[in-house]
Structure 1
């Protein structure tokens, strides 16, 4: 009986192909939108988390922040070498500490030059920032101890100064002083800025030198001259990156770092960024974002369910005479209910399956559309944030069965009323219906 009822239901659906197709389309859009929107939300959330994770979940980043001119009297502000020594000596959970000094400089080799960042750092800098060596070597402890005038070039820096030759062993000029190139790094994508706590950082135009060499040869003073303006700042350390051994120690150590630095600074000329805190916030935001997108997509499924109810109510009206004949031949109310309920289920099942198939094409279609937009509208696409331009949708595994089950539930739920209405028709009145 069930198999025959299913056959009759499918036949009834196929009697009106266009109307049935439009109803199935409503469910298709609802199911596909659930999968697509959740995939988009997961892709954006994952990209943001990867940007934060690139800083290291075990890291604590302390940066120099330039205060207002009213707080700075002699031009001296920010982190100091004493802060670095004090943090390492007084906080036992710190396993690694990296002082970093960054300056804007012009780099020259023969007739070629470019503006970039001179980064004074230690040998651990490459590991902490996940920089990979292309050729040569990175800075060593011996370079740091002996204050050698060695440097390592970022990938783009090497291409700008040495577009057609090997940079290793060549001397470049920085601030009227020569530095010998000992290594070249692989390309490194810039980190996107996330909120106000994490500034974007571009590694493409960097030149890395031992921080001891930078302190000795360039010093702490920064002089900025503009028409009608002369400014002099004293900054010893741009950033101190701290690392702990255990994840459970990160937040406690960050509180100690804030307290230690606050006791030595009379005004706020520093900022503490804890990637672990940002990761936890990003995870919470990601879940809220996915939930919000899921609710929006669920509205499409409800609209599709209303479409099923509408077509089933119209079908009941059209087939009133048929219902009367079936009742006269001995069909019970539950038989009529079952037939119409199965018809609505068939519609929702077809829409759900097609929606799942459409949802599986989310990633390739998104990448294809993005490539075409970059091809036809390169200027407009270039203005979008890197996080959006490089984001790739990530299918959420549980979204596929969830969307499919919801589509079936919607079909059954919105098919109950038309089925009951059909079953409760009076057989005599139904037979009289023309």
Structure 2
């Protein structure tokens, strides 16, 4: 062997030993949404750049919330990175359960994150979770069915228009349902939708003294309207349907309208997955003329639990997955319509992305949601589709079960609201409010 070749071999061996000595295997808990599934397909790029391997724990939304909450509160240490949202981040950061993400470097450009996302994922001005994608909610609708019904969707419709259109588009004999909405119980499932919808109807979770408001006329109007609409124009078994179930129904051509996360737009317009990809329009979530729309504000974000033994490697993954470069990586392979939306300002300044048909409506929906002023009457909490207090998740899960049971016909709306009022009052009193 020549001296040069010997040097090259020794150098290669040194690099290999160095990489393997510092390489980690990261365990990441994430939700089974399409963008997260897509991210898993790109992790070879991360491994090639860093040497770190990734093990995925992919869970349904309600299960994910339960698993990561249990693990981090008990300091279980199962995960090196968790997928969490705007509700958990400030609460967990206050408890010192999360690693601050204030040292990701100039090249990461944290200042490029949309202010609405950075604000919701920070505590006392420090970022504790990096947004993989951000979302609001909006109407996705079948343009062909709307035209056949003799109606035209406004950019900013009312709930009365939506209800009229949903009933006009319904043809149950052909398994076409005018509207698909979340009915599956869960604080981040049916209660995310119903809390945001309640805002538009003048409802609120609590008054300024933290007294529950489910005995109000506004909540009665919200829940009765929702149940009647789905009974008339929704699919059978609507009480079992969450985000993924309704996405599947829409892609199969069975929903005239679907009001849900803006992030779904890329999946309903993808011809590889959607039978109605070329027949989809978009509009803002509806209102009732009272000054609030029914759209929420959320980010699925990556956070690092305090106490992980792999903090440096975990930060490398967070930087990779939420970077501008990752967006370009997805765009190069899957097209600009399929990049994770709603997180970075630069995406909405990109000329390629401006041509995506739902980009403008997504940004308008995100910007129109105000977590500091979510309701018509004043409230003591922050959050559009949730109240940012530790007790909310447990209470809203129970309330969601009552509302889902009412939708399934197992009790009346009035009975569900009475139970919601009583259980919320009991829980808040026990918590010392």
TM-score bracket, shorter-length normalisation:
under 0.3
TM-score by length of 1: 0.19
Which structure dedicates a bigger proportion of its chain to helix? 1
Higher RCO (C-alpha under 8 Å, 6+ residues apart): 1
Structure of greater Rg:
1
More strand by share: 1
Length-normalised TM-score, structure 2: 0.19
